[in-house]
Amino acid sequence: MKFKEEIDRRRTFAIISHPDAGKTTLTEKLLLFGGAIQVAGAVKSNKIKKTATSDFMEIEKQRGISVATSVMGFDYKDLKVNILDTPGHQDFAEDTFRTLTAVDSVIVVIDVAKGVEIQTEKLVKVCKMRDTPIIVFINKLDRVGKDAFDLMDEIEQKLGLSVMPLSWPIGMGNEFQGVYNIYEKKLMLFRAHGKQSEEESLEFTDLSDPLLEEYVGARAAKTLREEVEMVTEIYPEFNREEYLEGLLTPVFFGSAINNFGVKELLDCFVEVAPSPTNSETEEREISPYEENFTGFVFKIHANIDPKHRNRIAFVKICSGKFERNKNYQHIRLGRALKFSNPTSFMASKKEIVDEAFPGDIVGLHDSGNFKIGDALSEGESLKFKGIPSFSPEQFKYIENADPMKAKQLNKGIDQLMDEGVAQLFVNLRNGRKIIGTVGALQFDVIQHRLKHEYNASCRWEPINLHKACWFTSDNKEQLANFDNYRVRLIAEDKYKRRVFLTTSEYEIRMEQQNFPDIKFHYTSEFD
């Protein structure tokens, strides 16, 4: 196959949702269609059960499982589909944010009864920062949930997305009869037989056809006709260009557990979703079709076996062809490296690859050379954009609990931060180290891993902080004044960027008034 065809046939995406909306179930059904797995239940839910917040074995298991299912690739209709898994637990949201930098599109799963939940909001915000094309799948139609129009409003209001339903439900819960696929003009009937169910698909171009009554009954037929008419009146027509620019969001309805509406979603997805797109670097935009290989590390996974401290760095291929045993330049280290065992991930199977193309992810065995965001190329110096740090939401001072092991502790902290487990800030006034995380669970994970992997002990001390804001200004005088005035709350992140550690939203608003020329940012990447 020609190089261009290889690129054009790739669809690299992530499925995101609030925990429990059905991400794992949907992933599994997609893999079943792709033939990547044969039986349901093969994909382990990689979420940590809510009760297990301090169960370290569970954390370790989670880490192990998510290596195996980090990237699930399969062939479908001549296309190569790469699903990038994201951690189910919201305390690992930062990991998910970074994974989103490596995908070309996303599918958002929403529970029909719960609607838009907090984690969905956060994740979609990140997608919107990058204009990532989004498709929404409303799940669990076999249960009673919110009215479909209300849900559309909720998605528009809470997520700020412009929606275009491509399918529409016929009833819900016990009265769920299926969906009308507006995109393909098909009637998809849901036939439940006790615990089993099947999907019946009928061409149905004209909803006024009296056959509709026969299939779904008079009442449901009337409602469907009225609602689909309203849908076509209210919402814009589907326009692929607008979807690709992140301006229009197609919506599907279904029930993942019943395998209902999943094939339609997949069929539409592979048709409209983007193949690998351009990547931005500080120097220039990179086209996937360029001959020279470039790629960046978006995730680092420590090995589950603490005795072997090797790690896997996940590299997204942005351009050119990646080849095994070829020398590539590690830009930050200024050194050539070659990789004899690059791994690709086909469902839960790992295998060594000889070559990989833009859109693919390769796993590189690493003994400590990589940090999140590192670039590889054939010599050109590049710094990829779009891999920001996000402000943590929980903060604690980290203190050494064993004075004999200070070196081990510092090494452990450095390496865990390179992996992106949490963020480190050093208070400029007193030199104390502050760890910031998205969720409380990471503090347990860090303490546990420092002990078991680095033989170091730490102790946490409370600090009352709300957010970490990166700040910039062209007004040097104001910057200097701010530094002086707020000296107790200014720290440096690991890239030596200045960060204002705020105790409240109100405080930021006040500072913004006092220092109008300073810009405060909740992510580390800004224009």
- Give the interface with ligand G4P as residue ranges (CB under 6 A): 17, 19-25, 45, 47, 88, 139-140, 142-143, 255-258
| Residue among 88 and 295 whose Cβ is closer to ligand G4P | 88
| Measured CA angle at 453 (ends 447, 458), to 5 deg | 30
How far is residue 453's CA from residue 306's CA, in Å, rounded to a whole number?
Answer: 5
Q: How far is the CA of 281 from the CAs of 102, 286, 287, 374, 380, in angstroms?
A: 13, 7, 11, 12, 11
CB of 104 to ligand G4P, least distance (A): 21
Q: 264 to each of 69, 103, 182, 273, 487, how far by Cα in Å?
A: 24, 21, 11, 13, 57
The residues, ordered by sequence, that sit 6+ positions from 193 with a Cβ below 8 Å of its Cβ are: none
Closer to ligand G4P by CB, 17 or 329: give it. Answer: 17
Q: CB of 48: closest distance to ligand G4P in angstroms?
A: 11
CB of 97 to ligand G4P, least distance (A): 17
**Residue 258 or 281 with smaller CB distance to ligand G4P:** 258
Side chain identity, residue 294 = T
Shortest distance, CB of residue 514 to ligand G4P, whole angstroms? 43
Q: Which residues contact 520 (CB under 8 A, 6 or more apart)?
A: 469, 470, 471, 500, 508, 511, 512
Write the secondary structure of 99-144 as one string of H (helix), E (strand) and C (coil). Answer: HHCCCCEEEEEEECCCECCHHHHHHHHHHHHCCCCEEEEEECCCCC
Residue 186 near residue 202 (C-beta atoms within 8 A): yes
CA-to-CA distance for 161 and 87, rounded, in angstroms? 24
CB of 523 to ligand G4P, least distance (A): 25
Task: Kindly state the smallest distance separating residue 53's Cβ from ligand G4P, in Å.
Answer: 16
By beta-carbon proximity to ligand G4P, the closer residue of 194 and 462 is: 194
| Residue closest to 144 by CA, chosen among 179, 174, 188 | 174
Nearer to ligand G4P, 20 or 418 (CB): 20
Min dist CB 127 to ligand G4P, Å, is 17
The 8-class DSSP code of residue 49 comes to: P
SS3 423: strand
Query: Which residue number, 171 or 320, has a Cβ lying nearer to ligand G4P?
Result: 171
Q: How far is the CB of 344 from ligand G4P (least distance, A)?
A: 24
Is 438 within 8 Å of 392 (Cβ atoms)? yes
Question: Residue 151, SS3?
Answer: helix
CA distances to 88, 205, 216, 256 from 224, rounded to whole Å, are 35, 14, 10, 22
Structure tokens belonging to residue 125: 């915000």
The residue (of 144 and 244) whose beta carbon lies closer to ligand G4P is: 144
| CB of 43 or CB of 248, closer to ligand G4P | 43
Residue 32 or 434 having the CB closest to ligand G4P:
32
Closer to ligand G4P by CB, 142 or 493: give it: 142
Instruction: For ligand G4P, give the closer residue by CB, 36 or 458.
Output: 36
Residue 208, token pair as written in the block: 């006024």
First and final CA of the chain: distance in angstroms? 40
Q: How far is the CB of 256 from ligand G4P (least distance, A)?
A: 4
Residue type (1 letter), 273: A
Shortest spacing between CB 105 and ligand G4P, in angstroms: 18
Going by C-alpha positions, the residue among 414, 384, 420, 424 that lies closest to residue 300 is 420
CA dist 479 → 68, 425, 484, 501, 522 (Å)? 47, 19, 9, 15, 18
**Residue 10 or 140: which CB sits closer to ligand G4P?**
140
Residue type, 395: F
* Shortest Cβ 368–ligand G4P spacing (Å): 32
Q: How far is the CB of 21 from ligand G4P (least distance, A)?
A: 5
Q: State the minimum distance, in angstroms, from the CB of residue 258 to ligand G4P.
A: 6
Smaller CB separation from ligand G4P, 129 or 144: 144
Q: Helix 441-454 and helix 56-68: axis angle, to 10°? A: 90
